[in-house]
């Protein structure tokens, strides 16, 4: 039996969730010529599992959720190396990420409308990464297509693995990616600041600082809005 203090602790805790990166990468790698219908069906299966996981946490007493959207997965060093795109992103993988992301906001809105104490916010990680990829000099990232640690055309394999003579860059703060899939400490620090205190162009309907102090058991008064439908500008963050 869960004690009252544990129930209170869980209710006030903030659960940050991101799901799908490995699912979509492996699906694309194993099904390079998948038809649109197969892609859509796979996205639906992943997002349904995501909803099931959220419901499981909610049934265990969780009420505050931060959901990080997927990055442009086709721009990861591992995707550029695996699919041999050179300096270009692999758009098939980006399309899957965009399909996935498009389902998350409406799904969470529905859950908040049917569960009176369900509170959430959504971090637009896709556009945060895309801006730093396309306008890297604005953010002082000099290398955004190759990782700092690893081997291969984009240093996207073997970082830290035994018996792999992986290369390590001299100055990791110049890089957006540390290894095949993960961002550098400098990038993560910037993302943390955005999640905690940025405006609705980056995280909505509230930032994490606001979510933390939002009263437990209070219904949400604002919901996620599609940036393409509303007047949320994709300005630089």
Structure confidence by residue, pLDDT tens digits, 103-134: 999 999 999 999 989 999 999 999 999 999 99
> Chain-wide mean pLDDT for the chain?
92
Predicted pLDDT of residue 192: 97
Is the model's pLDDT at 178 over the cut of 50? yes
Kindly report the pTM of this predicted structure. 0.91
18 CB burial (10 A radius; 0-12, 13-18, 19+)? middle
Q: Give residue for tokens 């995280």.
A: 203
Instruction: Note whether 166 and 156 are within 8 A (CB).
Output: no
Q: Give the model's pLDDT for residue 5.
A: 63
Could you report the per-residue pLDDT of 56-82, keeping only the tens digit for each?
999 999 999 999 999 999 999 999 999
Q: What would the two tokens of residue 117 be? A: 């104490």
Q: Once rounded to an integer, what is the mean pLDDT over residues 43-48?
A: 98
pLDDT surpasses 60 at 155: yes
Q: What does the pLDDT read at residue 4?
A: 67
pLDDT of residue 231 exceeding 50, the answer is no
């Amino acid at each position: 039996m869960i004690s009252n203090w544990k129930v209170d602790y869980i209710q006030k805790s903030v659960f940050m969730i991101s799901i799908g990166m490995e699912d979509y990468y492996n699906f694309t790698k194993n099904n390079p010529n998948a038809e649109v219908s197969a892609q859509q069906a796979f996205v639906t299966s992943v997002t349904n599992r995501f909803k099931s996981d959220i419901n499981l946490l909610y049934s265990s007493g969780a009420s505050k959720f931060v959901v990080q959207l997927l990055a442009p997965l086709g721009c990861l060093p591992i995707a550029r190396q695996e699919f041999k795109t050179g300096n270009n992103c692999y758009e098939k993988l980006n399309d899957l990420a965009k399909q996935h992301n498009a389902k998350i906001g409406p799904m969470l809105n529905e859950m908040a409308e049917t569960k009176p104490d369900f509170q959430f916010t959504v971090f637009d990680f896709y556009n945060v990464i895309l801006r730093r990829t396309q306008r890297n000099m604005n953010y002082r990232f000099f290398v955004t297509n190759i990782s700092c640690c690893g081997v291969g055309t984009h240093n996207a394999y073997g970082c830290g693995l035994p018996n792999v003579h992986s290369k390590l860059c001299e100055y990791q703060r110049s890089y957006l990616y540390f290894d095949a899939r993960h961002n550098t400490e400098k990038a993560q620090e910037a993302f943390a600041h955005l999640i905690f205190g940025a405006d609705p162009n980056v995280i909505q309907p509230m930032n994490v600082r606001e979510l933390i102090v939002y009263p437990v058991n209070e219904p949400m008064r604002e919901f996620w809005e599609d940036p393409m439908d509303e007047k949320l500008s994709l300005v630089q963050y």
